[in-house]
Amino acid sequence: MLRYILKRLIEIIPVMLGIAFIIYAIMSFTPGDPARLILGANATNEAVENLREEMGLNDPFLVQFFNYIRRIVFEGDFGNSYKSGQPVFKEIFKRFPVSLNLAICGMIGSCLFGIPLGILSAVKQNTTTDNIISVIAMAVVAMPSFWVALVLVLVLSLQLKLLPSSGATSLKHYIMPMITIALANGCSVLRITRSSMLDVIRMDYLKTAKAKGVPNNVVIWKHAFGNALLPVITTVGTIFGSLLGGAIICETVFTMPGIGALIVSSIKSKDMPMVLASLIFLSAVYSLVMLAVDLLYAFVDPRIKAKYSGK
């Protein structure tokens, strides 16, 4: 198991380098001058040119990229934000807890919405209940997330005054974003749960368990769902990793100071160090989440654990 973990951690390194190269290239070749951004629109051309030379922006692209990687590897320096002048990770670590809380709430909401309905739809296959759940799922998928968010703000905040419409300082601020994310991603969990349950529910060992008098709830939740859990874990883990990058629609509509909103504003202002550091950080976090999902497989399925341990 330890050998597998070390192997996966080493594999993250070339992934980070590839992501850094792609983002650095995109940010370098898009219009805009970082030196002009730092000095302001009223700065002289001479001052701008001197700052470009000082920052190494006149060097060839590959030289700039390798200098950036060298500073990260040997000095641990990801640079300072062009807008604030502060180290980039100071702002990232300040905003990441908001995105983490939002991702956790969204994952919980998606599971509470998708898993029970997916199991019920599989158990009641080809019945009225199954048809109703399918119609609900299709209707929810057809609703844009920004529209759902705006409707929640209009109804729950402006009309009923039950929940705050912006901010991220209390649990109440996360209720409407959680509902928005749960409706958007819960249908994916529902579909994969239903499909996985249908594959398992027809197997002979479940018929044997029922024939032995095992209660139906135990058969469904312990035997069937336990063996149908791997695809659900994959889907939920993917959703959670994606949400860590910031649910940009939720952060925009509900004015939440998360890392997704930070990346969008940094891209608009061509704040290259902030964009690069944010995306490299999120890529590393996403890779670790996927590693955690793979390790979780071992606790769900002993056969996978035996594979990891080489037995």
Residue 118 in contact with residue 193, Cβ under 8 Å?
A: yes
CATH class of 96-308: mainly alpha
Three-state secondary-structure class, residue 80: strand
pLDDT at 112: 92
DSSP output for 4-64? HHHHHHHHHHHHHHHHHHHHHHHHHHSS--HHHHHH-TTS-HHHHHHHHHHHTTTS-HHHH
Side-chain-side CA neighbours of 83 within 13 Å: the count stands at 14
- Residue located via tokens 């859990």: 229
- Every domain of the chain and the residues it spans: 2-75, 96-308
**Residue pointed to by tokens 């139906």:** 216
Closest C-alpha to 244, from 181, 187, 306? 181
Query: Is 289:237 a contact under the CB 8 Å cutoff?
Result: yes
The confidence score (pLDDT) of residue 21 equals 92
Q: Would you state the pLDDT for residue 29?
A: 84
pLDDT in tens, the chain (311 residues): 677 778 888 888 888 889 889 988 988 888 877 787 777 777 788 888 888 888 888 888 888 899 889 988 888 888 888 888 888 988 889 888 888 888 899 899 999 999 999 989 988 888 999 899 989 888 888 888 888 889 999 999 888 888 888 888 888 888 998 999 888 888 889 999 998 888 888 777 777 887 888 788 888 887 788 788 888 888 888 888 888 866 777 888 888 888 888 888 888 888 888 999 988 898 888 888 888 888 887 777 766 666 656 55
